[in-house]
Amino acid sequence: MLYDALADPDGATAADLLAAYADELAAAVDGADTSTVAAETGVDESTVAAIADRDLDALSTVRLTDAAAILEAEEGISADDIDAEVRDHLMMGMVTAILDVDTIAAEIDADLTGQEVQRMLEGRTRLTLGDLAEMQALIVDRSP
pLDDT of residue 39: 95
> What secondary structure, in 3-state letters, does the chain show?
CHHHCCCCCCCCCHHHHHHHHHHHHHHHHCCCCHHHHHHHHCCCHHHHHHHHCCCHHHHCCCEHHHHHHHHHHHHCCCHHHHHHHHHHHHHHHHHHHCCCHHHHHHHCCCCCCHHHHHHHHHCCCCCEHHHHHHHHHHHHHHCC
Q: Determine, yes or no, domain membership for 96.
A: yes
Q: What was the pLDDT predicted at 73?
A: 85
Total number of domains constituting the chain: 1
* Predicted local distance difference test score (pLDDT) of residue 46: 96
Q: Residue 7: what pLDDT?
A: 85
Task: Give residue 74's pLDDT.
Answer: 86
- Considering the domain boundaries, does residue 65 fall inside one? yes
Q: Is residue 2 part of a domain?
A: no
The pLDDT of residue 47 is: 97
Instruction: Please give the chain's pLDDT, 144 residues, in tens.
Output: 898 998 888 999 999 999 999 999 999 999 899 999 999 999 999 999 999 999 999 999 999 999 999 999 889 999 999 999 999 999 999 999 999 999 999 999 888 999 999 999 999 999 999 999 999 999 999 998
Q: Does a structural domain hold residue 83?
A: yes
- Parent domain of 87: 7-144
Question: What pLDDT shows up at residue 52?
Answer: 96
Predicted pLDDT of residue 134: 96
